[in-house]
Amino acid sequence: MEPLAPAMQSDLESLAHLSESDKAPIEVGEREKTILGDQNTTQVNNVSPRLEPKNWAPARKWTATLLLSAFAFLQPLSETMLSPVEKNISKDLHITKAYEWLLVNSLILIGIGLAPLILAPLSEVYGRKPVLVVGSIVFVVWNTGCGAARTLGQMLAFRLLSGFGASVADALAGGVMGDLWRAEERGKAFAVFMAAPLLGPALGPICGAFISEGVDWRWVFWIISIASAVTIVLAVVFLRETYLPKLQQLAADKRARTSSGGAVEAKDKKEKFLMDMRVNLQRPLRMLTTQVIIQLLAGYMSILYGTMFLFLFMYPTMWTKQYNQGVGIGSLNYISFAIGLIIGVTIAGRLSDRVYSRLKARNGGVGRPEFRIPTMAIGTALVPVGLLWWGWSGEAKVHWIVPNLGSLVFAAGIYMCSTSVSVYTIDAYTQYAASAVSTNLVARSLSSALFPLFAPYMFNALGFGLGATALACGFVVIGTVVVFILWFYGDRLRARSPYCAAETED
């Protein structure tokens, strides 16, 4: 491999824990080696241009991307749409303690965090489309149950179960984007997709406030279920399978049935299926425990999303406490956060692909995942700037537009960080992108559930200014370390991994 820059050679040689003896791939089980070898051979030697989703017409690829985005937008809405109807739900379900309401908000995130460990590898066995459709149906069923809940216990159970389905779009996003788009195209495509799961939590309180003014709070859940059901129908009709190994398997099975007069070796097929299932279900945890890159990105996404959800949890409190705004008017301040995300959509994808293309050209036409890191570094700088801007201007009670501008900068930084991490992960673990991205999703969802639990205590003790400063400092330390390690040592870490692509895409 060529170094990222000539001056980097000495830095690489000085890294003690990545000595020459460490360059050997991490040992994995024999079954994993077998599957890795078989799948890689299939992918390299038996790729039919007709089957390859990367060769599809742009309209077909964007149809799949936008359908996935629709699921990713609707399902996270249920995380934050409840804020404006908290009093109504609390009255009907007899919620009297603060921690009970925190559980209502947090349990869905726990479900979202745990499910990808199963959903992502299942998509590498059954294919992306069946898992997406079934997972979305699970969400619709249990989210509808939330609207019908008559007790707190029912609400908590249904929220947890709906979370298992709500995570399906995010869990499969990395895999689908890797299936459809080449490396130099992924930044733009993933930027469009990432707008959905981030805009959902931002627009949720606004939608919830307006819906609750005209109808009962239960319709907050039911409207999401209806919209999700419509999207499921569209996916069944228009979405095609994107996972190349599954497409090749279906084509091979069809040829086998034709050549054998319809008979297929059921025993051999069952044994291979069971082996594939076992290996695929183990893969996310194996990657999380053996892959340094995955561990670094999981830690990064954990602090990033924990900070964002803690921010969103305290966001309405600033407007009601510091600016004496009502719930309805206060919820409109989420628009600035949404605008920041839209700015991120406009900038992040194009910037990421442009930087990638330029660095690729300077590197002799060879692309590398590390070429996504400059965009990630910009986002890592914007997040604490926006957070400090929002916190201290709100603490001083200056004009309401000033903390809104800070919120805008914070949101743009969040978006750039999220997109860069996701695209880097897909570039590095292309064939196993779904499993790799699922580990990030687990980390970010669990931290999103846990961070808001201490938000009231933290901001009551420190105030908005010092509270924002504490969050910003924590993120700067972790974010800077991760960016530094990936930029300077990412290629060596990938060289040791049996899961990373053998060659970088040209």
* Rounded average pLDDT over 170-196: 83
* Nearest alpha-carbon partner for 166 in 276, 240, 63, 81: 81
Q: What is the predicted pLDDT for the residue at 266?
A: 57
Out of 91-95, 280-284, 335-339, least confident range: 280-284
Q: Can you give the residue range of the structural domain that contains 297?
A: 28-34+43-495
How many residues appear in the chain? 506
pLDDT digits (tens, 9 = 90+) for 300-330: 999 998 898 888 878 888 888 889 887 678 7
User: How far is the C-alpha of 348 from the C-alpha of 280, rounded, in Å?
Assistant: 32
User: How far is the C-alpha of 270 from the C-alpha of 273, rounded, in Å?
Assistant: 5
Q: What is the predicted pLDDT for the residue at 142?
A: 95
Q: Is the pLDDT of residue 260 over 80?
A: no
From the number of C-beta atoms within 10 Å of its C-beta (0-12, 13-18, 19+), residue 270 rates as exposed
Kindly indicate the confidence band of residue 349, based on its pLDDT and cuts at 50, 70 and 90.
confident
* 22 lies in some domain: no
Q: What is the predicted pLDDT for the residue at 66?
A: 93
Q: Is the pLDDT of residue 133 over 70?
A: yes
User: How far is the C-alpha of 174 from the C-alpha of 372, rounded, in Å?
Assistant: 15
* Rounded average pLDDT over 461-477: 92
* 209 lies in some domain: yes
Q: Is the pLDDT of residue 454 over 90?
A: no
DSSP-derived 3-state class of residue 70: helix
* Residues 6+ away with beta carbon under 8 Å from 107: 156, 159, 160, 163, 449
Q: Is the pLDDT of residue 27 over 80?
A: no
pLDDT digits (tens, 9 = 90+) for 496-506: 888 886 444 44
| Token code pair at residue 412 | 């743009």
* Nearest alpha-carbon partner for 306 in 152, 181, 173, 471: 471
Structure-model confidence comparison of residues 376 and 313, the more confident one: 376
The answer to whether the beta carbons of residues 208 and 220 sit under 8 Å apart is yes
23 DSSP 8-state letter:
G
* 154 lies in some domain: yes
* Rounded average pLDDT over 482-489: 95
* Rounded average pLDDT over 263-282: 66
Q: Please, what is the end-to-end C-alpha distance for the chain in angstroms?
A: 14
Kindly indicate the confidence band of residue 262, based on its pLDDT and cuts at 50, 70 and 90.
low
Mean of all residue pLDDT scores within the chain: 81
DSSP string, 100-111: HHHHHHHHHHHH
* Nearest alpha-carbon partner for 276 in 53, 38, 80, 471: 38
* Rounded average pLDDT over 278-288: 81
* 23 lies in some domain: no
Structure-model confidence comparison of residues 69 and 208, the more confident one: 69
| Token code pair at residue 95 | 């919620």
The number of domains in the chain is 1
Q: What is the predicted pLDDT for the residue at 81?
A: 78
The answer to whether the beta carbons of residues 356 and 424 sit under 8 Å apart is no
Out of 12-16, 188-192, 247-251, 480-484, least confident range: 12-16
User: How far is the C-alpha of 292 from the C-alpha of 106, rounded, in Å?
Assistant: 28
| Report for 26-40, 158-172, 430-444: range of highest mean pLDDT | 158-172
The answer to whether the beta carbons of residues 419 and 190 sit under 8 Å apart is yes
From the number of C-beta atoms within 10 Å of its C-beta (0-12, 13-18, 19+), residue 260 rates as exposed
* 103 lies in some domain: yes
Structure-model confidence comparison of residues 113 and 233, the more confident one: 233
User: How far is the C-alpha of 486 from the C-alpha of 494, rounded, in Å?
Assistant: 10
How far is CA 284 from its chain centroid? 15
* 8 lies in some domain: no
* 204 lies in some domain: yes
Q: What is the predicted pLDDT for the residue at 263?
A: 52
Kindly indicate the confidence band of residue 10, based on its pLDDT and cuts at 50, 70 and 90.
very low
The answer to whether the beta carbons of residues 264 and 252 sit under 8 Å apart is no
* 14 lies in some domain: no
Q: Percent of the chain beyond pLDDT 70?
A: 85
Q: What is the predicted pLDDT for the residue at 3?
A: 44
Kindly indicate the confidence band of residue 35, based on its pLDDT and cuts at 50, 70 and 90.
very low
The answer to whether the beta carbons of residues 39 and 275 sit under 8 Å apart is no
Q: What is the predicted pLDDT for the residue at 46?
A: 52
Structure-model confidence comparison of residues 372 and 188, the more confident one: 372
| Token code pair at residue 323 | 């600016």
Question: Hunting for tokens 């001083």 — which residue is that?
Answer: 396
| Report for 73-87, 108-122, 340-354, 390-404: range of highest mean pLDDT | 390-404
* Rounded average pLDDT over 164-183: 87
The answer to whether the beta carbons of residues 200 and 208 sit under 8 Å apart is no
Kindly indicate the confidence band of residue 187, based on its pLDDT and cuts at 50, 70 and 90.
confident
The answer to whether the beta carbons of residues 337 and 200 sit under 8 Å apart is no
CATH of the domain at 397: 1.20.1250.20
* Residues 6+ away with beta carbon under 8 Å from 264: 253, 256, 257
